A = this chain, B = another copy of it.
């Protein structure tokens, strides 16, 4: 633990985080309680599912419900049944709510600009570059990777996002039911499922099957666009390989679609070599393997 570096981080936490955070809150709060403003902001012009709001803002279900009722009472929001599942309700802004949201949006712009305004052009460039760097690197250290049952909500969310993304990127589309991995295959001791989270939001996942007598197989490796390029995929892959090796696997293999170029790059950089097809996965164009010994 490097004293000098820790001191810089502490100083940063103290001054920037508190001072700017307080400012940000006061800009947001205007004349409404802070929690209401935050919620209104988070719903946004697109609307949002109540469940999503709960995890994003990390609120108690009862408290959130009450906040929504208040906003509804003020005529800013309507909560209606969701598209698919009628239990998952969706909050949308009314005309008035949208106007309020735009006001918040503008005042957030104002705050940002007030930080840049007193600086020279050169200082502005330096400040924003440094901010982007801090954000980027901090994100990396806020990602936590943990084993998890594939049925848990965070895992589910990742798998849904994974399927959506494959459906969008594959030329042939993608049918999630044909993915050919059952939950129980990636639950210990048959395998392992990992999720990467930032705060309470799941931002990545990955699984490994450990069939007896066969090489281990990596499945469902996915990283949210919001944290790509921060080494999360690499960390998930490493962790899965470590688990496979600890479980006695000599090698690990996987298949992938040609449209997933970032993943293919990751596999090559991690020491995977292309091999002939070992299965008949209709979505696969490339098959890779890596020795763990």
Q: Which residues of A contact B (CB under 8 A)?
A: 1-2, 5-21, 23-24, 108-109, 111-119, 123-135, 137-143, 198-199, 231, 235
Contact = CB atoms under 8 A, between A and B. Distances in A.
Given A126-B133, A132-B12, A137-B130, A19 B118 contact: no
Contact of A128 (B5, B112, B126): B5
A235 B10 CA distance: 29
Contacts of A113: 1, 6, 9
A7 to B, nearest CB: 8
Given A5-B124, A18-B21, A130-B133, A13 B138 contact: no
A123 B234 CA distance: 15
Given A9-B112, A124-B5, A16 B134 contact: yes
15 contacts: A5-B124, A6-B109, A9-B128, A11-B132, A13-B24, A13-B108, A16-B131, A16-B134, A16-B135, A114-B141, A116-B141, A118-B231, A127-B137, A129-B130, A130-B130
Nearest to A38: B18
A112 B13 contact: yes
Contacts of A18: 21, 24
Given A14-B24, A16-B138, A118-B143, 15 more contacts: A1-B113, A5-B116, A6-B113, A8-B128, A8-B132, A9-B112, A9-B113, A11-B131, A11-B135, A13-B112, A16-B16, A19-B142, A23-B142, A127-B137, A130-B133
A16 B14 CA distance: 12
Contacts of A23: 142
A2 B113 CA distance: 8
A18 B176 CA distance: 36
Most B C-beta atoms less than 10 A away, residue of A19, A125, A235 = A19
A143 B59 CA distance: 35
A73 B182 CA distance: 58
B118 A13 contact: no
A240 to B, nearest CB: 17
